[in-house]
């Protein structure tokens, strides 16, 4: 079984941009049920279909398969409005690879950082631009943002606290 272990943080400031490498992507959701999220992603000329299971903290089952780009475009059409566009930046910090997602469209203004871990208790040297942790906060999940974008958040919801 594929396993994803990741922590997510709101990003503060722009210091992460130095030396970062950008990649444009669009992703849509065929299912946003937290028990079985089904995502289709188009990155450049590559398509991917991903199935994710229910999260247990920072851990959940994840299965990802490359699909032809033409198929990914067709599948994105089936996603209706549940689509997220973003620029993903790869950033190195303390020997680790982070990704910083700078959302566009209806979620413009939201910037999240993620780090994938080998195990849930792995120590992480947080970069200075990693703000409050939002791991496990449902409203910050990409599938949730596809249905209710950042622009619909109240000021109170834009912080890590509050109900999900």
pLDDT at residue 1 greater than cutoff 80: no
Domain that residue 26 falls in: 3-158
Q: What is the pLDDT of residues 20-41, one digit of tens each?
A: 989 999 999 999 999 999 999 9
For residue 69, what is the domain's CATH number?
2.40.320.10
Q: Can you read off the two tokens belonging to residue 142?
A: 């990409």
pTM metric for this prediction: 0.93
For residue 92, give Cα distances in angstroms to 5, 11, 28, 55, 95.
Answer: 18, 15, 27, 26, 6
Instruction: Please indicate, yes or no, if residue 163 is contained in any of the structural domains.
Output: no
- Whether 31 maps to a domain, the answer reads yes
Which residue is catalytic, options 29, 89, 129, 150? 29
In angstroms, the CA 79 to CA 29 distance is: 5
Number of structural domains the chain divides into: 1
Per residue in 87-112, pLDDT (tens digit) is 999 999 999 999 999 999 999 999 99
Active site residue 65: no
Please check whether residue 164 lies inside any domain of the structure.
Answer: no
């Amino acid at each position: 079984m594929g396993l994803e272990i990741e922590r997510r943080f709101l990003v503060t400031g722009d210091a992460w941009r130095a030396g970062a490498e950008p990649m444009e992507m669009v992703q849509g959701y065929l299912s946003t049920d937290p028990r079985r999220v089904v995502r289709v992603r188009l990155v450049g000329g590559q398509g991917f279909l991903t199935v994710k299971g229910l999260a247990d903290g920072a851990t959940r089952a994840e299965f990802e398969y490359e699909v032809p780009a033409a198929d990914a475009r067709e599948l994105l059409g089936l996603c209706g409005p549940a689509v997220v566009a973003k620029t993903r930046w790869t950033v190195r910090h303390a020997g680790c690879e982070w990704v910083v997602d700078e959302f566009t469209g209806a979620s413009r203004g939201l910037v999240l950082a993620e780090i994938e871990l080998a195990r849930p208790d792995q120590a992480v040297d947080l970069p200075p631009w990693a703000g409050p942790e939002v791991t496990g906060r449902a409203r910050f999940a990409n599938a949730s943002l596809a249905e209710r974008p950042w622009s619909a958040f109240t000021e109170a919801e834009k912080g890590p606290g509050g109900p999900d």
